[in-house]
Amino acid sequence: MITTDPSIPAVARPYQGKPAGLVSRLLAGIVDLLVVLMVMVATYVGWAAVRFLLRPAKFEFPQPTLVLILAAGLVAAVCYLTLGWTLTGRTYGDHLMGLRVVDRSGTTMHLPISVIRAILCAVFPIGLIWAAFSTHNRSVQDILVRTSVRYDWHTLELDR
């Protein structure tokens, strides 16, 4: 179904509502990874600033272990993805690429499904590659939690 909505770019109209392809999803994922990394860096800088304020004379930069960094990254990624998908159906990367993650009825996911999908995406990101082989462009995560990623250039959930 081709939409005639003037708020959607003309070149994007034929794709509106169709399953998103692997490249769009990968690019959105890269943007989301960069957002999570920026949150991690900001958290580290904040942690260092608090340590400096508490003991300026004996200040040393924090040296977190690899396990702490990975655990914090996993938590940050799951929280970020869950929040985006539960509130608007999209993360910042999805927004830039014109994507929306929806449940099997085509609406924004509820919190439990968003959490499960976020954990699956954070722990097993390679599952996205299955979208290249799926006839409906669904990743392993989409198959397990019955979601899909669609092209959707509307900016607000209320616009739909």
Q: Which amino acid is at 67?
A: V
Q: pTM for the complete prediction?
A: 0.87
Tens of pLDDT along the chain (160 residues) come to 455 666 777 777 777 778 899 999 999 999 999 999 999 999 999 999 999 999 999 999 999 999 999 999 999 999 999 999 999 999 999 999 999 999 999 899 999 999 999 999 999 999 999 988 988 999 999 999 999 999 988 765 444 4
Identify whether 9 is part of a domain. Answer: no
Supply φ then ψ for residue 114, to 5 degrees.
-60, -40
Residue 132 resides in a domain: yes
* Amino acid 135: pLDDT: 87
Sort residue 5 into left (φ over 0), alpha (ψ -120 to 50) or beta: beta
What is the Cα 106 distance to its own chain's centre?
18
Q: Is residue 61 a part of any domain in this protein?
A: no
Alpha-carbon distance of 91 to 25, in angstroms, equals 11
3-state SS record for 35-54: HHHHHHHHHHHHHHHHHHHH
Residue 12 lies inside a defined structural domain of this protein: no
Residue 70 lies in a domain: yes
Q: Tell me if 45 is assigned to some domain.
A: no
Total domains in the fold of the chain: 1
Residue 153 lies in a domain: yes
Structure tokens at 17: 């509502």
For residue 109, being part of any structural domain is answered with yes
> Which residue range(s) make up the domain with 147?
18-34+66-159
